[in-house]
Structures are given as structure tokens and as C-alpha cells.
Amino acid sequence: MTEEDLINEAKKEPRWGQHRYLIMVSSSVLAAFILVIISMYIYNNSGAAQLDLSRPGYDASVRQQASQSTDDFMSYPDSGELDQPALDDFKRLYDKQSKQATGIDAFGDDVLSDESLQIEAAK
């Protein structure tokens, strides 16, 4: 087969066949764009957008209702002296949280219960 035969054969191919890769990439991008538009429409109209706490326009009163009470959680300060009493205090707080995290049976029936997830009921 000579070079002329290949050129003649390429000319016989329909125009869309000559640009099939460009058409394939363009149609893939268009399909992805359409699916993103559909998913954003569903996200906004289903009410899931109102539950997203990362949104800057989220209403402060609803944010306070959605936030979990952390009265019993004591965090370790990020500044201060690093001496033996501070290390003992850190170890005590760490052990308390560690026992809470490992005290749940990972394969039990109540792994996703409100108590194990430490979710309080809305008041």
C-alpha cells in the first residue's frame, strides 16, 4: 500500500470519522458538564446545600443549632511550658479520649448509633 492509497482512503472516510477523537473528547466534556449541572440542581433543591456547614453564607442561628455541645471535652492548650506536669496532663487527656475511641466494638450492631457517634438529639 502506497502513500497515495492511504491519502485516498482517508479522503473516502466521512468527515466525522476523520475527527473522531476530537468529537469523543468534546462529547465527554459536554456530558460531564451536563452531569455537574444536574447534580448541582439536585444538591440545591434537595435541601442538602442548607446542611453544608462549610458554606460561608450559612445562617448563624442554624449553625448554632447544628453544632454539637462540647461541654465535656477538654482540649489541650497549644501553648505553654513543656514540663512534667504538662506532659502528665496531656497523657491523662489523651488516655481519656483514647479509651472513648477504642471502647466501641468496631464490628458491633451499634457502631453507628447516636451514642457511639456522640451525637446529641436536637433540643
Please say which residue of 67, 89, 106 terminates a domain.
67
Burial class from Cβ neighbours inside 10 Å (0-12, 13-18, 19+) for residue 104 reads: middle
* Cα 55 → chain centroid: 13
pTM: predicted TM-score of the whole model, two decimal places: 0.37
* Position 27 confidence tier, pLDDT thresholds 50, 70, 90: very high
Same domain, 78 and 89: yes
Q: Give pLDDT, residue 31.
A: 98
Same domain, 4 and 41: yes
Residues 11 and 40 in one domain: yes
pLDDT score, position 14? 74
Domain final residue pick, 31, 49, 67: 67
Pick from 20, 44, 67: which residue ends a domain?
A: 67
**Residues 54 and 23 placed together within one structural domain of the fold:** yes
Residue 41, pLDDT score: 92
At 6-22, the pLDDT tens digits run 878 777 777 777 788 99
Report the number of distinct structural domains present in the chain: 2
pLDDT at 37: 97
Concatenated DSSP letters of 61-79: HHHHHHSPP-TT--PPPSS
Tens of pLDDT, residue by residue over 46-56, are 877 766 656 56
Same domain, yes or no: 11 and 52: yes
For residue 122, give its domain range.
Answer: 68-123
User: pLDDT value at position 71?
Assistant: 57
Distance (Å, whole) CA 27 – CA 55: 32
Asked if pLDDT for residue 33 goes beyond 70, the answer is: yes
Q: What's the pLDDT tens digit per position in 58-111? A: 556 555 655 555 556 667 777 888 889 888 988 988 888 888 777 776 676 766
Looking at the fold, whether 25 and 75 belong to one and the same domain comes out as no
Is residue 77 domain-shared with residue 120, that is, in the same domain?
yes
